[in-house]
């Protein structure tokens, strides 16, 4: 089996389980919706304020929902010792990491699209003509979020408290991703040309490259005991 | 308590330097023209910030060393250093906040350096929490090393991205151009304080490592006794 096949094996396994159980995406989507609705009551916005607060609100919903998915990613493997089973298969640990990263990102991205749809419906936000730009930010932001999150998810299941440690580890580290994603989204909502959009994208991209390399290298040690 | 000769020398040296630093900071350094006496907090704010960064750097270095050598000695240094760093980072935030209140009229501003320090503090707080939640020694060492490395790399990116976001903290005063600069007496005091805090860091690090060793021994004896 080549390395790529091994990664696809993990992805296929995760997608199959998800299609049967429909746990991660549903939970993320519903939770994200709740966040959006609660925000509406918490701020009681006028239509002008909505424009300024939209990017932040959207990303808060994404990252809070994302935590659920990431927690699920490895805690689901912890039941019935599935993680042990995966470690016994003759594949490098990094393949497990990359496979898990891919599925976490896919699930999070799918639920983000639905959340975005609801968001536009509820708040009447217009991204006219800038859809590819928005999806690019969402794509890079989600991957960046999951690069660190997948690693921390594996760390968190190794502890006594499992689930609630993940956000504590995750949030301070992903601050650059949050800043860059929110700012890039805010730029897209402005009337004029998107100034600074690509600068924020560069930050996202460099974060992703640096941490992808670091996390692939470090993942081997996490499953070691 | 420090036991070896080197530890004793380090301890005495730190103690003497601390006394001298107090004298320099409160009596020797002249009153600042615009800020008055308040500026003296600089002599505690800057050194503790510097040592906090140093401590987290040591944590990152020792975490890498642990993952390569797999010797728990490195983990002991990494965790001790992180703990001291967390303490000094707290002091930095508190002294900075007091200073900000008197200078800017507010306790806090979401500026690049302040925010980075706060995030740094949060990262190592989560590092400390992670260690508290793992019982097995080797596992704790592996997992926290990974967080120690990621945290340190992240700080650099956090700083870069927040600086683009906004900045209010004064630009570097020393070596920041012809206009900037501290009076020689102030500069000397500041450098002396930085040196003293660095010595203090090593003194604390040494005793923390000794303490950890002792506590590991006690744990070991507990285990042996429980088996009998």
For residues A118 and A219, give the distance between their C-alpha atoms in angstroms, rounded to a whole number: 36
Query: Which residues have C-beta within 8 Å of that of residue A49, sequence separation ≥ 6?
Result: A43
Three-state SS at B36: strand
Report whether A173 contacts A156 (CB < 8 A). no
Inter-chain CB proximity B150 and A160 less than 8 Å: no
pLDDT at B3: 64
Helix (H), strand (E) at residue B61: helix B42-69
For residues A186 and B193, give the distance between their C-alpha atoms in angstroms, rounded to a whole number: 44
B160 phi, psi to nearest 5 deg: -60, -45
Counting other chains too, the contacts that B21-28 makes at CB distance below 8 Å and 24 or more residues apart are B21/B189, B21/B192, B21/B193, B21/B196, B24/B188, B24/B189, B24/B192, B24/B193, B25/B189, B25/B193, B28/B185, B28/B189
Q: What are the chain B neighbours of A155 within 8 Å (beta carbons)?
A: 130, 143, 146-147
CA angle B12, B15, B19 (to 5 degrees): 140
Which of A169, A187, A201 to substitute to test the interface with B, most B CBs within 10 Å? A169
For residues B222 and B210, give the distance between their C-alpha atoms in angstroms, rounded to a whole number: 18
Q: What are the chain B neighbours of A222 within 8 Å (beta carbons)?
A: 142-143, 146
Inter-chain CB proximity A155 and B145 less than 8 Å: no
Inter-chain CB proximity B119 and A225 less than 8 Å: no
Residue B12, token pair as written in the block? 């005495």
The pLDDT tens digits along chain A (225 residues) read 688 888 898 899 889 988 898 888 899 999 999 998 898 888 877 777 777 788 888 999 999 999 999 988 888 888 778 888 888 888 888 899 999 999 999 999 999 999 999 888 888 777 777 888 889 999 999 999 999 999 999 999 888 887 789 999 999 999 889 988 998 888 888 766 556 788 888 889 999 999 999 999 999 888 875
pLDDT at B99: 87
Indicate the Cα dihedral angle A71, A73, A75, A81, nearest 10°.
Answer: -170
- Considering only the beta carbons, identify the residue of A169, A183, A224 that sits closest to B147: A169
Q: What are the chain A neighbours of B162 within 8 Å (beta carbons)?
A: 175, 179
The DSSP bridge partners found for residue B32 are B36
Which of A67, A171, A172 to substitute to test the interface with B, most B CBs within 10 Å? A172
pLDDT at B175: 46
For residues A64 and A59, give the distance between their C-alpha atoms in angstroms, rounded to a whole number: 8
Report whether A156 contacts A83 (CB < 8 A). no
B164 phi, psi to nearest 5 deg: -70, -25
Inter-chain CB proximity B123 and A172 less than 8 Å: yes
Nearest CA in chain B to A160: B133
- Considering only the beta carbons, identify the residue of A171, A211, A224 that sits closest to B142: A224
pLDDT, tens only, A84-129: 888 888 888 889 999 999 999 999 999 999 999 988 888 877 777 7
Query: Which residues have C-beta within 8 Å of that of residue B133, sequence separation ≥ 6?
Result: A159, A160, A161, A165
User: Helices A175-189 and A165-173 sit at what angle, rounded to 10 degrees?
Assistant: 60
Report whether A216 contacts A3 (CB < 8 A). no
pLDDT less than 70: residues of chain B = 1-3, 33, 165-181
A/B interface, count of CB pairs below 8 Å? 86
Three-state SS at B135: coil
Nearest CA in chain B to A154: B143
Inter-chain CB proximity B143 and A211 less than 8 Å: no
- The HSE-up count of residue A150 (CA atoms within 13 Å, CB side) is 29
Which of B125, B150, B153, B162 to substitute to test the interface with A, most A CBs within 10 Å? B150
Tokens 């949060």, residue located: B122
Inter-chain CB proximity B133 and A175 less than 8 Å: no
Cα dihedral A159, A164, A168, A170 sign: positive
Q: What are the chain A neighbours of B129 within 8 Å (beta carbons)?
A: 165, 168
Q: What are the chain A neighbours of B137 within 8 Å (beta carbons)?
A: none
Report whether A143 contacts A100 (CB < 8 A). no
For residues B228 and B225, give the distance between their C-alpha atoms in angstroms, rounded to a whole number: 5
How far does B10 lie from chain A, in Å, by closest CA? Answer: 36
pLDDT at A191: 66
- The HSE-up count of residue B106 (CA atoms within 13 Å, CB side) is 7
Nearest CA in chain B to A217: B146
Report whether A218 contacts A148 (CB < 8 A). no
Q: What are the chain B neighbours of A215 within 8 Å (beta carbons)?
A: 150
The DSSP bridge partners found for residue B36 are B32
Q: What are the chain A neighbours of B165 within 8 Å (beta carbons)?
A: 179, 183
Helix (H), strand (E) at residue A106: helix A93-123
Ranges of each domain in chain A? 3-222
Tokens 């790399």, residue located: B153
């Amino acid at each position: 089996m080549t390395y790529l096949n091994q990664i696809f094996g993990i992805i296929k396994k995760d997608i199959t389980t998800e299609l049967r159980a429909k746990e991660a995406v549903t939970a993320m989507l519903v939770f994200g919706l709740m966040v959006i609705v609660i925000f509406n009551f918490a701020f009681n916005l006028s239509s002008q304020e909505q424009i300024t607060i939209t990017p932040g609100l959207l990303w808060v919903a994404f990252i809070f929902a994302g935590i659920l998915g990431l927690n699920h990613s490895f805690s689901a493997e912890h039941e019935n010792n599935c993680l042990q089973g995966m470690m016994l298969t003759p594949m490098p640990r990094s393949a497990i990491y990359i496979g898990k990263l891919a599925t976490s990102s896919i699930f999070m991205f799918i639920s983000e699209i639905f959340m975005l749809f609801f968001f536009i419906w509820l708040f009447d936000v217009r991204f006219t003509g800038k859809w590819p730009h928005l999806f690019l930010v969402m794509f890079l932001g989600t991957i960046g979020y999951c690069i660190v999150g997948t690693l921390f998810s594996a760390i968190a299941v190794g502890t006594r408290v499992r689930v609630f440690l993940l956000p504590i580890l995750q949030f301070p580290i992903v601050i650059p991703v949050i800043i860059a994603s929110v700012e890039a989204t805010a730029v897209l909502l402005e009337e004029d040309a998107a100034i600074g959009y690509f600068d924020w994208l560069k930050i996202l991209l460099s974060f992703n490259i640096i941490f992808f390399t670091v996390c692939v290298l470090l993942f081997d040690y996490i499953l070691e005991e | 308590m420090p036991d070896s000769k080197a530890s004793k020398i380090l301890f005495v040296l730190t103690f003497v330097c601390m006394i001298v630093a107090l004298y320099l900071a409160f009596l020797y350094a002249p009153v600042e023209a615009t800020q008055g006496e308040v500026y003296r907090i600089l002599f505690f704010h800057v050194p503790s910030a510097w040592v906090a960064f140093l401590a987290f750097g040591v944590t990152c270095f020792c975490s890498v060393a642990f993952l390569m050598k797999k010797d728990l000695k490195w983990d002991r240094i990494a965790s001790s250093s992180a703990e001291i760093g967390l303490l000094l980072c707290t002091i930095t935030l508190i002294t900075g906040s007091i200073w900000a209140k008197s200078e800017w009229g507010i306790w806090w501003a979401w500026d690049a350096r302040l925010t980075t320090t706060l995030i740094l503090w949060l990262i190592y707080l989560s590092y400390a929490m992670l260690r508290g939640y793992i019982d097995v020694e080797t596992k704790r060492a592996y997992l926290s090393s990974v967080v120690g490395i990621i945290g340190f790399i992240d700080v650099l990116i956090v700083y870069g991205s927040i600086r683009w976001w906004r900045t209010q903290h004064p630009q570097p005063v020393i070596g920041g151009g012809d206009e900037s600069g501290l009076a020689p007496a102030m500069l000397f005091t500041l450098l002396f304080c930085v040196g003293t805090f660095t010595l203090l860091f090593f003194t604390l690090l040494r005793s923390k490592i000794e303490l950890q060793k002792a506590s590991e021994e006690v744990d070991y004896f507990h285990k042996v006794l429980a088996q009998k």
